[in-house]
Amino acid sequence: MKMSKLFVQTLREFPSDAEVVSHKMLARAGYIRKLTSGVYNFLPLMWRVLKKVENIVRDEMDKAGAQELLMPFVQPKELWVESGRWEAYGKELMRLKDRHNREMCLGPTHEEIITSIARDVLKSYKQLPTNLYQIQSKFRDEVRPRFGLLRGREFIMKDAYSFATSQEELEAEYQNMWQAYTNIFNRCGLETKAVQSDSGAIGGSVSHEFMIITDTDAGENDVFYCEDCDYAANSNHAVSNLPEALVDGGKYFNECKIIDTPNTHSIDELSAFLNIPSTLILKSLVYIVDKNPVLALIRADKTVEETKLMNAVGGMDIRIATSAEIEELMQNNGFNAVPGFIGPKGLKAVTVVADNTVKDMKNFVVGINETDKHMVGANLTDLGLDEIKYFDLRLVEEGEFCPECGKPLKVTRGIEVGNIFQLGTKYSKPMNAVYLDADGKAKPYIMGCYGIGISRTAAAAVEAHHDDWGIKWPLSIAPYHVIVVPVSTKDEQQMSVATKMYEELLASGVEAVIDDRDERPGVKFKDADLIGFPYRITVGKTITEGNVEFVTRATGEKVAMKPEEAVKIVVDAVKNIK
């Protein structure tokens, strides 16, 4: 490809809405153009990268025994009603109507469709286990599309679904996919960590996310991990053991009574006023889960993890209540306390759940729904909470102890590029998707599902591999392998050596670009660095001594060598791409 013909326009500035490196660089280097919020055109350079990621994914999925198919992007409502997700999925599901007023949606994921195919085709245990996948555009009307391709509304995903006759068979396929994912990300030049995670809207019990660890804003997930054992989990799923703490306030309060605590709106103010550690305070937090108020109780030195709370009460959507909503809750219960003095006693028409930290608390301090007052020396019986349900609602903190080996946990941030789930019968049961087993009985499939964000993986590769000047693509997914740059297109010798090398590279199966533009060398080098060619061969003045300059983008290393040596290095490197 001639640079003068390459369909690319590099920009001088980063787009103003770009917050993270991959979005900035892919836009500036001419890979993507935004069409509308969360929706991007993949221009030729980007499409080359995406096809390479896709082909690695395809190759490893095929090797792992999965079979590719392609399902429609538009899906009928009826199947979503069968699975129960038409109601449950929430606003991310983009719903629409056709001219006959039939309701449809744009596929955010394809469990319903694949399950309907399976129940028509996979009728006997002899056809199982099996794994089917596709690579396709998905649409999710994300609340906050951002970070370019990392969180778009339309994006490309590989989604696979397995059907088995037993939990053991499912677990074997789960391991098989785990290995395939490890191979895929390795081949893409990406280091990933598999972490335990919450299963979210897809459902099921066991699931792992494949994370690219990063210390940048692009890492939307907090990952807690142990350096001494394998434990690693997304913060929405992580658990920990706590150090000993004072949880019995008996030495401060010898009876249960209500006292004045003026202006103690926060936990800090309250513990300072009473001169007690916050481990003796029961914190009461009001959330809105799917429009209903929920009161969450937790030891006051700890924080509620919203996904855990949402799962505990079986919701799809959660947020902390506003002051107005708290006031309304107070009024509905005949109180008029302001936030800071809320507590569970006497509250009706609200779901109350407690974190496990509450179990051991005795003679504690708690809000009593009266402004400027608290109850001290309280126990759960004083609050009428003998029957309260306990859950793990707590957000883990760095330094708390590993649930598996007891060593202190560390925290880092990660970009989720892939996800594997053990679904069980979550879809097959409600959709009555069954096969005939060897014993002649009809049984629901035991399912798994496995996703990889193709476009997110490509963007994550930029997050993982760049410098101030631009992208440093891993060779396996670079749009082109090498750029040959004659410093002066007017110099006959430079042009003829460059052209010869370029032609030899092409003839050996290397994806090469020659920068034939009549531009200053500085401009050519800048563009080459920004676009991120893994290798650059510069043909300049030293060609009179028989040398070209060979630059490796990943390391910045520059070496003078003969043209044929430079060609050989690139040809060999390309041959060695796995």
Chain residues in the site for ligand ATP (CB under 6 A): 109, 140, 142, 151-152, 155, 157, 200, 202, 416-419, 451, 453, 455-456
Q: 414 near 210, Cβ under 8 Å?
A: no
Residue 343: CB minimum distance to ligand ATP, A:
34
Closer to ligand ATP by Cβ: residue 448 or 453: 453
Q: Closest separation between CB of residue 200 and ligand ATP, Å?
A: 5
In the three-class reduction of DSSP (H, G, I as helix; E, B as strand; rest coil), residue 270 is classed as: helix
Q: Which is nearer to ligand ATP, 142 or 169 (CB)?
A: 142
Nearer to ligand ATP among residue 195 and residue 296 (C-beta): 195
Give the nearer residue to ligand ATP in terms of CB position, either 212 or 501.
212
Q: How far is the CB of 141 from ligand ATP (least distance, A)?
A: 10
What's the min distance (Å) between Cβ of 137 and ligand ATP?
A: 11
* Nearest to ligand ATP of 380, 417 (CB atom): 417
Shorter beta-carbon distance to ligand ATP: residue 234 or 489: 234
Burial of 21 (0-12, 13-18, 19+ CB in 10 A): buried
Shortest gap between Cβ of 197 and ligand ATP (angstroms)?
8
Name which of 154 and 370 has its Cβ closer to ligand ATP.
154
3-state helix, strand, coil in the chain (%, to 5): 30, 30, 40
Q: How far is the CB of 463 from ligand ATP (least distance, A)?
A: 13
Which residue, 157 or 482, has its beta carbon nearer to ligand ATP?
157
Alpha-carbon gap, residue 333 to 95, rounded angstroms: 38
Shortest reach from residue 79's CB to ligand ATP, in Å: 18
SS (HEC) of 473-522: CCHHHCCCCEEEEECCCCCHHHHHHHHHHHHHHHHCCCCEEECCCCCCHH
Residue at token pair 């305070």: 281
**Is beta strand 257-260 parallel, antiparallel or unpaired with respect to 442-444?**
unpaired
Which is closer to ligand ATP, CB of 57 or CB of 417? Answer: 417
Measuring CA to CA, which residue among 421, 414, 418, 412 is closest to residue 455? Answer: 418
* Nearer to ligand ATP among residue 40 and residue 473 (C-beta): 40
Given a contact cutoff of 8 angstroms between Cβ atoms, the answer to whether 451 and 208 are in contact is no
CA distances from 178 to 64, 184, 185, 237, 564 (A): 10, 10, 11, 19, 42
**Pairing mode, if any, of strands 32-36 and 558-561?**
unpaired
Q: How far is the CB of 155 from ligand ATP (least distance, A)?
A: 4
Considering the complex, state which of residue 455 and residue 494 has its C-beta at the smaller distance from ligand ATP: 455
Residue 17 near residue 518 (C-beta atoms within 8 A): no
Give the CA angle between residues 76, 160, 124 to the nearest 5°: 80
CB of 10 to ligand ATP, least distance (A): 24
Query: Of 102, 94, 400, which Cα lies nearest the Cα of 243?
Result: 400
Among 231, 225, 233, CA closest to 411: 225
Cα 84 to Cα 162: distance, rounded to the nearest angstrom: 20
CB closer to ligand ATP out of 424 and 453: 453
Which helix (DSSP H) or strand (DSSP E) does residue 60 occupy? Answer: helix 44-63
CB of 456 to ligand ATP, least distance (A): 4
* Closer Cβ to ligand ATP, 204 or 339, answer by number: 204
Got the DSSP string for 234-249? ETTT---BPPP---BG
Give the dihedral of Cα atoms 37, 41, 45, 46; nearest 10 deg.
Answer: 60
CA distance 187 to 416: 17
**Around Cβ 203, how many Cβ atoms within 10 Å?**
19
Residue in the structure block whose two tokens are 């092409």:
506
Of 92 and 504, CB closest to ligand ATP: 92
Q: Considering the complex, what minimum distance in angstroms separates the CB of residue 275 from ligand ATP?
A: 43
Least gap, CB of 314 to ligand ATP (angstroms): 18
What is the rounded CA–CA span in Å between residue 213 and residue 191? 8
Beta carbon of residue 418, minimum distance to ligand ATP (angstroms, whole number): 5
Tokens of 62: 């095929």
Q: How many residues does the chain have?
A: 578
**Cα separation, 87 vs 315, whole angstroms:** 12
| Chain residue whose CB lies nearest ligand ATP | 453
State which residue, 207 or 494, has the beta carbon closest to ligand ATP: 207
CA distance 361 to 242: 14
CB of 128 vs ligand ATP, minimal distance in Å: 24
CB of 413 to ligand ATP, least distance (A): 13
